[in-house]
Structure 1
Amino acid sequence: MDRQSPLDSMESWFEQMSKQFETAADRWGTGIEPWGEGMDQPRIDLAEDGEQYTIVADIPGFGKDDIEVYVTDNTLAIEAEQREEMVTEEANYIQQERTHQSLSRRITLPSDADTDDISASMADGVLTITVARVEPLDSGHQIDIE
């Protein structure tokens, strides 16, 4: 009688795991690639001057009606979702990838950001958000030790 050892199938098991890791790496990336089609976070630039913060986000392919910008608990959220209508006429697609696209990004605002004074504009796939700055409520003070 021929007994099968658990070690006999170990090589095929490692090959299967290796293929799964390669598939996952192809799908998710290594984490160091820049944002590109199919990824879920836009790249941003955050700048400041004495009066405001400016956030510029690249959101190609989205219109301003596809995008929501809101603030909750001093966190600025950018969310976008776009659904393409499926073609109902007879079509012989070889590949169809444009049916749904979404992204989101959360940015913690600095403590001197005025969350009541925020504006946003969109042009050519670039979202620009300005957040006014306020003077800190308390600049601090010395505490005497008893």
Structure 2
Amino acid sequence: MDRQSPLDSMESWFEQMSKQFETAADRWGTGLEPWSQGMDQPRIDVAEDDDQYVIVVDMPGFGKDDIEVYVTDNTLAIEAEQRDELTTEEATYIQQERTHQSLSRRITLPGDADTEDITATMDDGVLRITVARVEPLDSGHQIDIE
């Protein structure tokens, strides 16, 4: 009669755990998927030119009344919260479904961002924030070495 080694059962256990992790990874994804409703941070694009910074934020399903944009110190904050209630009456029962979604994002603005000159527009679920740039307080000068 062959005796089983405890290592044989451990190998089987490790194989089973590996399969479970693979299944979980398939379900959860890699973590690199684009933002979708239910995630707590929207994806953003930040572009710049000589006069301004432009931040474009995808916020599908949110209206402009659901979103707050504010600046504190040199940090731009975007916060949104949405509650939808849908009541449908069918036959002799009432069905009620609720969704709640909230998100926030903080962006540290560059040193030349004019935090007093920021505008925001919302169009088709895309928030566009424009931050003007200021001229540096001192353009600098050469220092002679004595």
Shorter chain as denominator, the TM-score bin is 0.7 to 0.9
Equivalents in 2 of 1:139, 1:14: separation in Å?
Answer: 64
In structure 2, the residue corresponding to 1:84 is in which secondary structure?
A: strand
Give the direction of change, closer, same or farther, for the CA distance of 1:144–1:31 in structure 2 (3 Å limit).
Answer: farther
Residues 21 and 58 (structure 1), Cα distance of their counterparts in 2 relative to 1, 3 Å cut: same
Shift of 1:41: 2.3
Q: Which amino acid aligns with 1:19?
A: Q
Which letter maps to 2:44?
Answer: I
TM-score (structure 1 length as normaliser): 0.73
Where does residue 79 of structure 1 map in the other structure?
79
**Unaligned 5+ runs, structure 2:** none
Offset at residue 134 of structure 1 (A): 0.5
Q: Which residue of 2 aligns with 1:90?
A: 94
Paired position in structure 2 for 1:102 = 102
CA distance in 2, matches of 1:85, 1:127: 24
SS in 2 for 1:90: strand
1:12 matches 2:46: no
The 3 A distance-change label for structure 1 pair 73 and 17 is: farther
The aligned counterpart of 1:68 is: 68
**Quick one: which amino acid aligns to residue 53 of structure 1?**
Y
Larger radius of gyration: 2
Distance 2:102 2:22 in 1: 25
Q: 2 CA distance for matches of 1:13 and 1:112? A: 54
**Cα offset for 1:130?**
1.0
Cα pair 2:79 2:105 within 8 Å, conserved? yes
Q: How many residues align?
A: 140
* Residue 144 of structure 1, CA deviation: 5.6
Q: Distance in 1 between matches of 2:11 and 2:73?
A: 51
2:128 corresponds to: 128
Mean alpha-carbon deviation: is it higher for 134-143 or for 11-20?
11-20
Q: Which stretch shifts more, 8-17 or 112-121?
A: 8-17
